[in-house]
Structure 1
Amino acid sequence: MGFDTATTTLLRAILDEVCESISRHETGVRAHVASKILEAATKGEKTPDGLKQIGRAALSEAPTMWR
């Protein structure tokens, strides 16, 4: 399923905001958070607040070996 440009921009901004406290080099954590945000968007979650909440939950559950 593809997203339009506006949705893709929103998802990227949410990922960056949720992951602002971690290094861009921590790709495992960022990939985990991105996959959860993308999964939620694919299932119909479109609100920024809802997506941020899901992203923050994914960040908190990311395995410590990725940090």
Structure 2
Amino acid sequence: MFDAETTALLRAVHDDVCETVSRHETSVRRHVASVILEAASKGETSVDGLKQVGRRALSEAPILRH
């Protein structure tokens, strides 16, 4: 779907956006990844644009606490 360079960029953006989210909060991390991927598939390719989309997704994500 994406070339290696774009995939690396998407991972870096996701890691940056989710840096304060525990690795155990998989539903939140998955939600953010999904929204970032959707934006990229629709043509958003700038780092700033993808981070903005990811941060918005993070703020709207359901947070599950144990």
Smaller-chain TM-score bracket: over 0.9
Aligned 8 A contact 2:28 2:63 in 1:
no
Identical-pair percentage:
67
TM-score normalised by L of structure 1: 0.93
For 1:24, the aligned partner's letter is R
**TM-score normalised to structure 2 length:** 0.94
Q: Quote the RMSD (CA, aligned, Å).
A: 1.4
- For 2:43 and 2:63, locate their aligned partners in 1 and report how far apart those are by CA, in whole Å: 29
Q: Which residue of 1 aligns with 2:26?
A: 27
| 1:14-67 deviation digits (Å, cap 9, x = unpaired) | 000000001111110000000000000000000000000000000000013368
- What residue number does 1:5 align with? 4
After the TM superposition, list the runs of 4 or more consecutive aligned residues in structure 1 that deviate by more than 4 angstroms. Answer: none
Unaligned runs of 5+ in 1: none
Gaps of 5+ in 2: none
Separation in 2 of the partners of 1:53 and 1:41? 12
**Number of residue-to-residue matches in the alignment:** 66
What does 1:1-67 align with in structure 2 at a 5 Å threshold?
A: 2-65=1-64
Task: Tell me the amino acid that sits aligned with residue 60 of structure 2.
Answer: E
AA in 2 matched with 1:39? E
